[in-house]
């Protein structure tokens, strides 16, 4: 179940030199992984050869990035800009801006668009084939903290624990507006691969499993549970749950917390499948490869608390773990 | 004709401040509301990103700025919560215990509570403000207004014994209090008949000295020192004598409004009171974990079948329901004062520890994400290093 770093796990070479904000596998290839970082770069790794193939300068801390296809990457930075990089030509282009730092960048395969969310309280949709300015802007009332793509829907998590569910086929109004069922700030949201619901995590050691269908019968199934807490001398330490990643084949999901642990859960049976060993620092981001054979784990201090100036945080690292069916398949 | 100043048109929406209002910031607030949001955001970032010698300075200037730039009051800003956050932030730092700015924050917080004495006692027990005259004067004032002049005197004497600074202020306050007791002019429960002129405007009565250099110019309530000679006053006391046989109904709420009025800053006494007493509805839910709420015995005892009603059983039911209500009320009193203090002094639960900086996330009037806090720090670091490189280049 758990133990020390094993043979089925590698730590990537040439890691970002400052906080890692996101790691994401390519949509179609198990070979490429991107990592965005506070060191102002977006890196693309070839995980099979264990080397950094491309490195793009965003000239500002990068808070999120995503693959559009195997040759194009979109990134959003603290400098309020949305940029895209061409892996073939090495060219970069400024697609447009928000009014505040861009916090989330995701690709929406169903409508072939890019969505960005910002602390300015808006989401913007972009056409990747014509990257000059946003297609449309949609107000979310509060600062956008996280967002998830769920087929033709968008699930946006904002400040003040609001969850907004949009339908991309009709963005004239917000389809559903909910309060988070967790009491504290929303940290991450990811959608089920079967598109019926989403998993939501908060900064206070809790994860909720929720369903989109508003009918009471379906809503009855929603639940939340505590995790990423450790007991020490009778005191329970509660950590933020920073990352969620779904296994596309089995519908199980991994969560990563500031306790440095990664857990894999079977949401349907309400069971924990396994827990990996403790990583050197907070888990900042998680991503399964498209075929579900690998899990990328970013271990990077989140500045959840003010560090003693004399203490260096553990180095930022990205681990690629080959996961087995036993670890990820519902039992 | 001269153009009308901006505040002239909005004056009924401007709440008075004890120390008076700065006309420049008032005009700014009324004319450029959009700049306010930007400035507020900057303050919120400062609260989280400041890492200099004196973090209280940021809080103090933010609170002052808020008062000055939200002239119609701080209703939407959860002021008690903000003050509480400030208090919690500096509780571990003993060097601020007798910092006049920190003591002021505590006193403002106390002023917003329905039972400020709890807060005063807590301050005294923790040693916050025990060397500050302002603390004793405000505490004594509270007792004097509740009609406990002896207790007020004791508190001032205690302050003098503790060598609170400035010493003169405390001595003057005590001297004046004794004078008022001797004249029998302090508000007493035995002399309720004097309540009538209490809130009326007296032309020639003396004013109570305040901490600031400027004396207030409104001669009502706690600002008025005594029922001293003066044409209006003479009339009032005469009528008071005439009416002394008549029982005067004293509204409890009104008197508690008085308490909060004396310490509260911009919020009107009634809203301050309601904010504080509604606190149980706005506080974070996990705080309930350690509280024991008395069981409502009567509530669940309703019969599941029809009972033949007679007069006796009806009266018994009424008795039951009335006791339930009494129980609920006493719980509320408990939770509004005691709960908030436990919020201030302890974490969510003794057996739990948050492994992130809770007060940085929820510290100001709005919440921040870890990345926002980090970026606020990053921006300031860049600005500082930018200045440094700039100076080395030139």
Interface check A207 vs B, CB under 8 A = no
| Predicted pLDDT at B214 | 56
Residue A285 pairs in a beta bridge with A298
Nearest to A183 among B284, B371, B372 (CB): B284
Instruction: Give the Cα separation of A166 and A181 in Å (integer).
Output: 18
CB contact under 8 A, B378 and A145: no
pLDDT digits (tens, 9 = 90+) for B344-374: 444 456 788 888 988 888 888 888 999 999 9
- Give the gyration radius of chain B's Cα atoms: 25
pLDDT digits (tens, 9 = 90+) for B52-98: 888 888 888 888 888 777 776 666 667 778 888 888 888 888 888 88
pLDDT digits (tens, 9 = 90+) for B134-158: 899 889 888 888 888 888 888 888 8
Which of A104, A185, A301 to mutate to test binding with chain B, by most B CBs within 10 Å of its CB? A185
Where is average pLDDT lowest: B169-178, B262-271, B379-388?
B262-271
Q: Among residues B178, B183, B124, which one has the least CA distance to residue B149?
A: B178
The complex's ipTM?
A: 0.93
List the structure tokens of A240: 């933020």
Considering only CB atoms, which chain B residues are within 8 Å of A78?
Answer: 375, 378
Q: If phi over 0 gives left and psi between -120 and 50 gives alpha, with beta otherwise, what is residue A270?
A: left
User: Quick count: other Cβ atoms within 10 Å of Cβ A151?
Assistant: 18
CB contact under 8 A, B357 and A63: no
Q: Tally C-beta pairs within 8 A across A and B.
A: 71
pLDDT digits (tens, 9 = 90+) for A38-61: 999 999 999 999 999 999 999 999
Nearest to B370 among A159, A204, A304 (CB): A304
CB contact under 8 A, B361 and A143: no
Per-residue pLDDT band for A165 (boundaries 50, 70, 90) equals: very high
pLDDT digits (tens, 9 = 90+) for A166-205: 999 999 999 999 999 999 999 999 999 999 999 999 999 9
List the structure tokens of B273: 């009171």
Nearest to B353 among A63, A236, A258 (CB): A236
Provide the 8-state DSSP code for B207: B
Considering only CB atoms, which chain B residues are within 8 Å of A160?
Answer: 366-367
Write the DSSP string, A45-102: EETTTTEEEEEEE-SS-EEEEEEEETTEEEEEETTSEEEEEETTT--EEEEEE-SS-E
Which class for A272: exposed (0-12), middle (13-18), buried (19 or more C-beta within 10 A)?
Answer: middle
Rounded to the nearest angstrom, the minimum Cα separation between B358 and chain A is 9
Which of A119, A157, A180, A182 to mutate to test binding with chain B, by most B CBs within 10 Å of its CB? A119
Provide the 8-state DSSP code for A249: T
pLDDT digits (tens, 9 = 90+) for A83-129: 999 999 999 999 999 999 999 999 999 999 999 999 999 999 999 99
Which of B350, B355, B358, B365 to mutate to test binding with chain A, by most A CBs within 10 Å of its CB? B355
Which of A20, A305, A309, A310 to mutate to test binding with chain B, by most B CBs within 10 Å of its CB? A305
| Predicted pLDDT at B287 | 58
B:22-61 residues touching chain A, CB 8 A cutoff: 51
Instruction: Give the Cα separation of B43 and B62 in Å (integer).
Output: 6
For chain A, domains (ranges, CATH) are 55-280+323-328 (2.130.10.10)
Instruction: Give the Cα separation of B94 and B99 in Å (integer).
Output: 10
Where is average pLDDT lowest: B13-22, B241-250, B271-280, B325-334?
B325-334
Instruction: Give the Cα separation of B318 and B334 in Å (integer).
Output: 25
A:6-25 residues touching chain B, CB 8 A cutoff: 19, 21
Residue A37 has pLDDT above 90, yes or no: yes
Instruction: Give the Cα separation of B161 and B214 in Å (integer).
Output: 27
Nearest to B355 among A38, A78, A304 (CB): A304
Provide the 8-state DSSP code for A122: E
Predicted TM-score of the model (pTM): 0.73
Which distant-in-sequence residues (6+ apart) come within 8 Å of A133 by Cβ? Answer: A95, A96
User: Quick count: other Cβ atoms within 10 Å of Cβ B186?
Assistant: 22
Residues A253-270, mean pLDDT to the nearest whole number: 95
Please say whether the beta carbons of A211 and A222 come within 8 A: yes
CB contact under 8 A, A143 and B372: yes
Nearest to B369 among A183, A185, A258 (CB): A185
| Predicted pLDDT at B217 | 60
């Amino acid at each position: 179940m758990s133990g020390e770093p094993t043979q089925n796990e590698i730590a990537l070479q040439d890691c970002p030199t400052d906080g890692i904000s996101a790691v994401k596998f390519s949509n179609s290839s198990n070979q490429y992984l991107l990592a965005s970082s506070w060191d102002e770069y977006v890196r693309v790794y070839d995980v099979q050869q264990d080397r950094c193939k491309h490195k793009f300068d965003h000239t500002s801390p990068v808070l999120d990035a995503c693959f559009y296809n195997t040759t194009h990457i979109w990134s959003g930075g603290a400098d309020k800009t949305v940029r895209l990089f061409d892996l073939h030509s090495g060219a970069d282009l400024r697609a447009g801006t928000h009014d505040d730092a861009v916090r989330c960048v995701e690709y929406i395969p169903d409508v072939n668009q890019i969505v960005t969310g910002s602390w300015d309280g808006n989401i913007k949709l972009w056409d990747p084939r014509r990257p000059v300015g946003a297609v449309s802007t949609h107000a979310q009332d509060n600062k956008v903290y996280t967002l998830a793509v769920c087929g033709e829907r968008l699930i946006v998590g904002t400040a003040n624990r609001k969850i907004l569910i949009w339908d991309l086929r009709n963005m004239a109004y917000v389809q559903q507006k909910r309060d988070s069922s967790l009491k504290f700030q929303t940290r991450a949201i990811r959608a089920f691969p079967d598109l019926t619901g989403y998993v939501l995590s908060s900064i206070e050691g809790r994860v909720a499993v929720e369903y989109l269908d508003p009918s009471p019968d379906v809503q009855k199934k929603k639940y939340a549970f505590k995790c990423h807490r450790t007991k020490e001398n009778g005191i329970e330490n509660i950590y933020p749950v920073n990352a969620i990643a779904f296994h596309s084949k089995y519908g199980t999901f991994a969560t990563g917390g500031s306790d440095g642990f990664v857990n894999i859960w079977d949401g349907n049976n309400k069971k924990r499948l396994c827990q990996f060993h403790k990583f050197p620092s907070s888990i900042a981001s998680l991503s399964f490869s498209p075929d579900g054979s690998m899990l990328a784990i970013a271990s990077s201090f989140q500045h959840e608390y003010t560090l003693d100036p004399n203490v260096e945080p553990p180095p930022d690292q990205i681990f690629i773990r080959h996961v087995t069916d036993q670890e990820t398949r519902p039992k | 004709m001269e153009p009308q100043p901006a505040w002239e048109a909005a004056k009924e929406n401007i709440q008075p401040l004890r120390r008076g209002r700065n006309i420049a910031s008032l005009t700014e607030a009324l004319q450029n509301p959009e700049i306010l949001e930007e400035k507020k955001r900057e303050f919120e970032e400062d609260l989280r990103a400041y890492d200099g010698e004196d973090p209280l300075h940021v809080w103090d200037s933010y609170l002052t700025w808020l008062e000055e730039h939200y002239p119609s009051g701080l209703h939407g800003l959860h002021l008690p919560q903000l003050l509480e956050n400030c208090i919690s932030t500096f509780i571990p730092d003993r060097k601020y215990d007798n910092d006049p700015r920190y003591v002021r924050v505590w006193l403002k917080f106390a002023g917003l509570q329905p039972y400020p004495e709890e807060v005063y006692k807590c301050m005294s027990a923790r040693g916050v403000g025990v060397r500050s005259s302002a603390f004793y004067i405000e505490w004594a004032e509270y007792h004097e207004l509740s009609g406990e002049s002896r207790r007020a005197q004791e508190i001032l004497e205690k302050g003098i014994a503790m060598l609170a600074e400035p010493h003169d202020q405390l001595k003057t306050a005590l001297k004046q209090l004794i004078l008022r007791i001797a004249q029998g002019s302090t508000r007493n429960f035995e002399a309720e008949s004097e309540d009538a002129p209490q809130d009326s405007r007296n032309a020639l009565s003396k004013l109570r000295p305040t901490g600031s250099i400027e004396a207030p110019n409104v001669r009502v309530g706690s600002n008025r020192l005594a029922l001293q000679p003066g044409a209006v006053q003479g009339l009032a006391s005469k009528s008071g004598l005439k009416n002394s046989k008549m029982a005067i109904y004293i509204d409890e709420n009104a008197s508690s409004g008085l308490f909060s009025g004396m310490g509260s800053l911009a919020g009107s006494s009634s809203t301050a009171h309601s904010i504080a007493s509604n606190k149980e509805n706005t506080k974070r839910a996990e705080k309930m974990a350690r509280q024991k709420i008395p069981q409502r015995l009567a509530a669940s005892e309703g019969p599941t079948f029809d009972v033949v009603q007679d007069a006796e059983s009806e009266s018994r039911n009424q008795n039951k329901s009335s006791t339930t209500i009494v129980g609920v009320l006493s719980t509320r009193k408990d939770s509004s004062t005691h709960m908030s203090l436990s919020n201030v002094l302890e974490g969510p639960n003794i057996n739990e520890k948050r492994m992130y900086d809770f007060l940085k996330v929820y510290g100001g009037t709005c919440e921040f994400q870890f990345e926002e806090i980090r970026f606020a720090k990053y921006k300031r670091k860049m600005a500082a290093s930018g200045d440094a490189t700039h100076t080395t280049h030139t």
